Structure 1
Amino acid sequence: MLKVYFKNKFIQKGHLTVCICLIISLAMSACSDSSSGSDSAANLASVNAGEDQVVLEGQPITLDATVYPEGGTVVWVQIQGTFIDGFPTEDELLVEITAPTSPTSEDVDLVFKAEYTSLDGQVVYDEITIQVTNVDYNPIAIVQFEEGLTPAFDTYEIVTLSGSNSYDQDGEIRQYQWTQIDENDELTFISDTDEVELKLKAPFVTELTNFTLQLTVTDNSGLQGSNTLIVPVAASSSVIAANAGSDQIVDEFTLVTLDASDSASAVSDVTCSWQQSHGISTTISNAESCIATFTAPDVDAEEELIFSVEVTDSQGEQVSSEVLITVNPVNLGYLHDTGITGCFSNSKKIACNDPDFPEQDADSGRDEISTLLDKIGDGPRSFDFTKFDENGDELSNSAVVFSCVRDNFTGLIWEVKEAPSIPEFENLRGAENYYSMDSKLAASSSCPSTSNCGQEEFITNVNDAFFCGGANWRLPTYLELLNVLDYNDVNSEDLLVSEFFTNTPNKTVLGHKFYWVSNASAEGETDEAYFVLDLATGDDSALHMSKPAYVILVRSVGEED
């Protein structure tokens, strides 16, 4: 009897006729002389890879091929899906594997092909599809003490718990959350509770106390896993314990809190008294409370401050503790603030740091912390000037007569004008004198020089006099002059700080208070224009070098005279 094996899934629309014809042909051949050929139907090879399967991640899978005629070799080949070790196989009808974990949250199709080679060399194949259904596994939370820590923990010892070995077998951990779940007093955490590690401070207890901490981890699918760890804290060796808090690193001018509220006694509440034992002197507010504050001082480099707290209970038992506060300098820039200390809305003056009108000039910078600055000299708000006599010797802040001032922020030394003379233009540095940028302004017309009233002639005469101990006087740059203007009083006749720049010209003489700076202006496409700053308004303009304007000189210490 003739038998022909086909797998239905390989008979596609359009090929049925071919298959029927093949059957008829084989039947006719079977009725003919059996000696007419060796390719009888009984010798056609076939292989069946089995029915398609649906399995879950991690479940076993059996691949079992049926072949005809027996005796040949079968090789299994994976042709689609997550790669599995061991393929292709070597001459195995039956193969046992495990469904792999999907790298995503979606189902995965695995396709395997069974290739059969019969003893007479025929090669046939069949395929099987294994649908692996995704299974979301909860993440595993693992909680451990930091390496090197040995329970039970002493009073105020820093304890670190780690969840770094937690894992998720089919995804990744996205969130960590630590929680105290016992009924003991609340622990003091000194790190955030949503990090992979948790730091806490062992509390004062009078007997061995077990605290329970729970870690909950959340994976990328939102699934969670939790685990707990017992944190044993040993009984205190004393009836009273002082804790000045953790060491801190802060910026200068910031408000620092000293917190000894974790201090405790077995017999009563405690009182605290703070004092500073090392470093730049500060003023402690609420020094007789367990929580006190101070403002970090003005520093030029890193400074260490040490504060101690003395803790006392109702029985007169006392104990002390220290805390280290490291103060770092902050970069306040290389320019003065504007001098403006008020903040404004669209229509009126308001309190600073208003969220509806943020980042105003008075909200930040040197003016905001001007009362905290450790000044060398004196000056309003953040300005800091030192007075000098005509020989360049320093004077006291209270000196009334002085010839120049040093800006202690930039180090530049500025000329202070002499009072207007009578008759006018008689004094070399008279406040009323004005000059052209070139040398075309006539001699004695607006200055005492008999050569010309150009700014170069004036600078030469001042340097020849070795004024204020220097011979390197020059015009300021645009930014240098802008840097000493005080915009705090917009109604002032002059934006120079009046306490130090005591003599200024009368605006009615030239109709302006333009001062020359050394920066040329390209306005008007000419090389004969220079910038001037209007010290009445703070505005700038470009002026032809032959026009008149006022001059204030500056010099830098250390520059070649």
Structure 2
Amino acid sequence: MNKLTVCIYLIILTMVSACNDNTGGSNSAANIASVNAGADKVVLEGLPITLDATVYPEGGNLVWVQTAGPFNEGFPTEGELTVDIVAPSVALDTELVFRAEYTSLDGQVVYDEVKVQVTNVDYPPVAIIKVDDTITQPFNTYEEITISGSDSYDLDGEVRKYLWTQIDNNNPLTFISDSTSSELIIVAPFVVNITNYTLQLTVTDNMGITGVNTIDIQIAASNSVIAANAGLDQTVDEFTRVDIDASSSVSSVSEVSCLWQQVYPTTTSVVFDDAEQCITSFVAPDVDAQAEYIFAVNVTDTADNVASDQMVVIINPINLGTLHDTGITSCFSDSKEIACNDPDYPNQDADTGRDEISTLLDKSGDGPRSFDFTKLDENGDDLPNDRTEFSCVRDNFTGLIWEVKQPRSIPEFQNLRGVDNYYSMDSSLEGLTSCPSESNCGQAEFIDNVNESGYCGGANWRLPTYLELLNILDYKDVDKSNLLVSEFFRYTPNSNNGNSEHQFYWVSDTSATGGGGFLNWVLDLSTGDDSTILMNKTAYVILVRTP
């Protein structure tokens, strides 16, 4: 018998058996269980949804299960044909799937699904405006008023932007905070009659939808016919130009005139461009630490009514670095001297650093342009700026104390710190040849002798570093024989001595040029150029020490 014949035989046998089944032990078509979860639905977010199932035969157990979409609390739910829920909030159209699982009394398990399409509804954000409820309106002239929109919300997203605008026809209010922040601060204007101002807050959510609200702000009539307004407090950096503005001062009688005064501090005064202008300027002075300056404006009308107000300027110090500047305060084109800060020739030496603000520096001592030196006596104590006799000088910018050479002697090389003395970096130069030491004329021997003398109250004199010596050179005075500031470093080497071809000065930095450890840096104080020379060659020495 082939396979096809077997299959046909089995089908016929099954059909005959079914027709002759009189035992009643199996389910007839009338006893097959079923469940219907209902038709698919479409609903807006936030609205109710009713899940309603029908079952056959009744009496079994129904369980509702959510199988897809944002989860709804209460599932699975057992024993109820009808279930009421609320469509969740969704950012996009979203499908929910619920399955009705039915178990009949005779143990049959059947199920059906219903799909619920939840449609996103873009609800506009709600703009909420609040004013401090501890303050009673109307507000007084020039009182600061804080209005908050931070309680604004969005049901299906979040508030992303704020915008405050004045929508009445009165004179513009003064906003002293950003109009795009959640909180707005305004200044109550001067009004002669009680006046309402209307402000509008527009909020925008993450979907670009806006919500709007308004609030009325009531301003009381001024108790005076004149009011002064010195403007907003400011925070600035030293040496910057500061504009102060009292133009909002008003009178119901006439225009007002202004007079600015500095109230504090009393020890340092700024210079106003014109103290009798309502809008004027000054340059923030040199400060060593953050400083508070208080200014007052007195305003007067033609009826001699007077009012005054104050404002504060906080001045912060700026970082000018740890070096002096070059002393160059002039700017140049390709062919001639020009005004500084020329956009065609930017970033010149005189446009930046201490040179740029040299005329504004508050110096402890004296010196040309940005240089600031104090003269010291033989004990290292300060002397007045006009003293002509002094032993050493302090650089008030770096704090370093510098040697001042003694004038040349006759015969030469008789004074320990004689300006014409010169030295080798090592100890190979014989004594009494270019210095008064009998041992040798090396720089180390010289330093030891100066420290033993207690020169200027110190015993820690040393060679300067390359940058320390470079730092006190004045490159503006290129017509001099020496770039040290002549008012403080009065003596320069004799052009007739053994180093007449240069004014090399030793510094403490060795040079790796050529290798071998035999070379050391020198600075030529007649030109500002640097070189490296052998340590057994000769150069001048100027000493420095840290207090």
Secondary structure of the structure 1 residue equivalent to 2:470: helix
Equivalent in the alignment of 1:385: 373
Moved more, 379-388 or 38-47: 38-47
Residue segments in structure 2 that go unaligned for 5+ positions in a row: 1-10
Structure 1: any 5+ residue segments left out of the alignment? 1-22
Displacement, 1:143?
1.3
8 Å contact kept, 1:30–1:40: no
Verify the 8 A CA contact 1:29 1:40 in the aligned structure 2.
no
The answer to whether the Cα contact below 8 Å between 2:499 and 2:539 also exists between their aligned partners in 1 is no
SS at match of 1:34: coil
Distance in 2 between the 1:160 and 1:386 partners? Answer: 52
**Inter-partner Cα distance in structure 2 for 1:466 and 1:340:** 36
Matches within 5 A, 1:74-89: 74-89=62-77
Q: Please name the residue that 1:324 is paired with.
A: 312
Q: Distance in 2 between matches of 1:343 and 1:167?
A: 58
The one-character-per-residue Cα deviations of 1:361-417 (angstroms, maximum 9, x if unpaired) are: 544432222211111211122110112345545444344454321101122111123
For the Cα contact (< 8 Å) 1:149–1:159, is it kept in 2?
no
> What TM-score, normalized by structure 1, do the two folds share?
0.86
What code does the residue aligned with 1:246 have?
Answer: L
Residue 514 of structure 1 corresponds to which residue in structure 2? 504
CA deviations on 1:79-117 (whole Å, 9 max, x unpaired) are 222222221112222222222222x4x322222222222
SS in 2 for 1:366: helix
1:316-465 alignment, distance < 5 Å: 316-342=304-330, 352-353=340-341, 361-390=349-378, 392-421=380-409, 423-465=411-453
Q: Which of residues 125, 130, 134 in structure 1 aligns to 2:120?
A: 134
1:153 Cα deviation after fit: 0.3
Equivalent pair of 2:474/2:484 in contact (CA under 8 Å): yes
For the pair 1:150 / 2:136, whether they are aligned, the reply is: yes
Q: How does 1:280-319 map to 2 (within 5 A)?
A: 280-319=268-307
Provide the C-alpha distance between the structure 2 equivalents of 1:26 and 1:309, rounded to a whole number of angstroms: 113
**Is it true that 1:241 corresponds to 2:231 in the alignment?**
no
Q: Could you tell me which residue of structure 2 aligns to residue 222 of structure 1?
A: 208
- 1:41 to 1:508, Cα distance in 2 relative to 1, 3 A: farther
Number of residue pairs the alignment of both structures matches: 533
Is the CA contact (8 Å cut-off) linking 1:385 and 1:405 kept in structure 2?
Answer: yes
Change in CA separation of 1:238 and 1:43 when aligned onto 2, cut-off 3 Å: same
In 1, the alpha carbon distance for the partners of 2:253 and 2:182 equals 38
Counterpart secondary structure, 1:277: strand
Change (3 A) 1:342 1:119: farther
Post-superposition offset of 1:226: 1.4
Alignment of 1:146-225 (within 5 A): 146-225=132-211
**In structure 2, distance between residues paired with 1:314 and 1:206:** 17
Q: CA deviation digits over 1:339-374, x for unaligned, max 9? A: 343556788866555667766554443222221111
Structure-2 residue corresponding to 1:37: 25
Distance in 1 (alpha carbons) for counterparts of 2:48 and 2:339 = 72
**Is residue 245–residue 323 contact of structure 1 (8 Å, CA) maintained in 2?**
yes
Which residue does 1:12 correspond to in 2?
none
Q: 1:546 corresponds to which residue?
A: 536
Q: Is 2:125–2:155's contact at 8 Å kept on the other side of the alignment? A: yes
Match of 2:78 in 1: 90
Q: In 2, are the aligned partners of 1:26 and 1:41 still within 8 Å (CA)? A: no
Among 531, 555, 560, the residue aligned to 2:545: 555
Asked if the contact 1:74–1:117 (Cα under 8 Å) also holds between the matched residues in 2, the reply is: yes
Mean CA deviation greater in 206-215 or 136-145: 136-145
Aligned partner of residue 481 in structure 1, secondary structure: helix
In the aligned structure 2, how far is the partner of 1:493 from the partner of 1:80?
92
Q: What RMSD over aligned residues (CA atoms) do the two structures have, in Å? A: 3.0
TM-superposed deviation, 1:419:
4.1
Q: Is the 8 A contact 1:334 1:410 kept in 2?
A: yes
2 CA distance for matches of 1:136 and 1:252? 52
Q: CA deviation at 1:160?
A: 0.7
